[in-house]
Amino acid sequence: MRKKGRIFDVINYTFLTLIGCLMVFPILHVLAKSFSSTHAINGGKVTLFPIDWTITNYQVILGDSSIWRAFLVSLFITVVGTLINLILTASLAYPLSRSEYSIRKAVLIFILITMIFHAPLIPNYMIIKNLHMIDSLWVLIIPSAISAYNLFIMRSFFTALPRELIDSAQIDGAGEVRTMVSVILPLSKPVMATMGLFYAVSHWNSYSSALYFINSRALYPLQLRLREIVLSNDLGQAGSLLENANEVSPAGVQMAVIIVSVIPIIIVYPFLQKYFIKGMLLGSIK
């Protein structure tokens, strides 16, 4: 059994290492291209390491005000949207975790239906239009304020908390809001961090809602601006710089924008990793 166990470990680690390399390779390739010269990129010489090292691609995008504006728009949507997501999701998950809430099963069924059947695009567009949210940043936040999947995870965590803690708080005179704020939420850091990361990544990476509902280019989030650059080589102010800078490659600029767009999530993740791992184990041990 020990020999079989060691063989399994070797195969398992080898397989996971290969999968990890396959996931890391595209990121390293994009990073290498963003620091490579036009000649190296056009010649197909770049793989995992930069060729003819240059930072001109980053100088171009950092000098483009439209990219900075899109970055700030995405930052606003991610920060404000995630705060709203967590507040509303926790506010709904807490009463649904309480057994004395008589209609909680009916509410859970209605929420489950929204996970199975999604509203078509045209009715969804008409509703948002009637709410006067077209061409507004709130259209990227309010319609996705609560994720049914994240709601069920948070409700499961609240349900697993000891009932005695809630009873003790109520005996001390705390109301429902005070109990939730002072007792439940401090114990819910793992699930809050996990859901916060899920919501933040979703907001940061989202571009379809902006594509459908945002008309003003001044309100474009970073991912929609990135889509323009990648699909149509629409470099904006960077494009005017490229006409006079032969050492700058449109492909290199595209890769640099991709790297810039993923940096915020990469920076935030290490601070939430401890809670994120705990949150991912929710329900795995009973």
Report the pLDDT value the prediction gives residue 255, as an integer from 0 to 100: 81
- In terms of average pLDDT, the best of 66-70, 171-175, 275-279 is 66-70
Report the pLDDT value the prediction gives residue 247, as an integer from 0 to 100: 54
Q: Are the beta carbons of 223 and 207 closer than 8 angstroms?
A: yes
Report the pLDDT value the prediction gives residue 147, as an integer from 0 to 100: 87
How far is it, in rounded angstroms, from Cα 74 to Cα 94?
Answer: 29
Q: Which of 279, 282, 233 is nearest to 255 (CA)?
A: 233
* pLDDT(80) > 90: yes
* pLDDT(84) > 90: yes
Helix (H) or strand (E) holding 120: none
Q: Are the beta carbons of 227 and 207 closer than 8 angstroms?
A: yes
CATH topology of domain 65-280: MetI-like fold (1.10.3720)
- Total-model pTM: 0.77
pLDDT per residue as tens digits for the range 17-51: 999 888 888 888 888 888 887 778 777 778 778 88
- Angstrom CA distances, 219 to 152, 169, 179, 223, 256, stand at 32, 45, 39, 12, 21
Report the pLDDT value the prediction gives residue 76, as an integer from 0 to 100: 92
Report the pLDDT value the prediction gives residue 83, as an integer from 0 to 100: 93
pLDDT per residue as tens digits for the range 164-185: 877 787 787 777 788 888 888 8
Q: Which two tokens stand for residue 238?
A: 């960077």
How far is it, in rounded angstroms, from Cα 152 to Cα 130?
Answer: 30
* pLDDT(235) > 80: no
Q: Are the beta carbons of 56 and 247 closer than 8 angstroms?
A: yes
Domain ranges of the chain: 2-42, 65-280
CB-based contacts of 176, cutoff 8 Å, min separation 6? 95
